[in-house]
Amino acid sequence: MAPVRTLRRPTAARRTGAWYVRRAVRGQTRTARWCFAALGAAALAVPGCGGDEPRETREKAGTYPVRIVSATFPERQRLSSRTELEVAVRNAGDRAIPNVSLTIGNRGNAQFAAASQQSGLADPGRPVWIVDAGPRGGPTAYVNTWALGRLRPGRTKRFVFKVTAVKAGTHTVDYRVNAGLDGKAKAELPGGGAPKGSFRVTIDRAPDQACVTPDGEVVRNPSGSSTSCP
């Protein structure tokens, strides 16, 4: 006679797994069921079916203290010369800044530009510098504003622009630090006041002189350089 086999009860892990799957499916909201049903048709076009929210919608309202650690831009430049504008911003508070950003000039105007006095122009802004490279990962929907994301307390982020001068004369470049993009989060200096500043720059009409050494090195302004061309 064959031995009698004793049936084992399911393990806790198996019971837990089966129970979790049933409850998860049974507990879905109507929105979740609708989103899953829409996946086969046009899931990407269904609002509320996942995906990251825009930075602006996650911005927390409030005032955030910041400190401008440094702001540099050469006072004397030449036409066609390539220079760097850099602004370093530190979070001087005890809360993370939602989205630290920097505005050059006024929002909506051409970046690094001066207003033309000629009448009848659709856009009076005329470029003074061409932006060869802006802060990495910083472009936003605003033509004059770059954002570098969340900034934790005590940390510093640097906005670096590589630009080329294309219009001679004396020009003023204004900048302002922001804590977000939609106006809910506002930045201010530790002692109060707007975190902003300006550069006054003179661009000489004579372009940089340049030559190439026998080793293939490009030397700009050789008369003032330690390396001279033959």
Structural domains of the chain ordered from first start? 15-40 (no CATH), 59-211 (2.60.40.10)
Going by the DSSP 8-state scheme, the letter that residue 60 receives in this structure is: P
Digit-by-digit pLDDT tens for the chain (230 residues) are 555 555 555 544 444 444 444 444 444 444 444 433 444 444 444 443 443 334 444 688 899 999 999 999 999 999 999 999 999 999 999 999 999 999 998 544 556 876 554 554 444 457 899 999 999 999 999 888 999 999 999 999 999 999 999 999 999 999 999 999 988 999 999 999 999 999 999 999 987 667 777 776 766 665 445 555 65
Q: Is the dihedral of CA 74, 75, 81, 85 positive or negative?
A: positive
Helices (H), 2-141: 12-26, 30-42
Going by the DSSP 8-state scheme, the letter that residue 222 receives in this structure is: G
Answering whether pTM is above 0.85, one says no
Cα gap 18→13, rounded to integer Å: 9
Q: Which helix (DSSP H) or strand (DSSP E) does residue 68 occupy?
A: strand 62-72
- Nearest in space to 102 (alpha carbons), one of 112, 114, 94, 92: 112
Cα gap 137→98, rounded to integer Å: 16
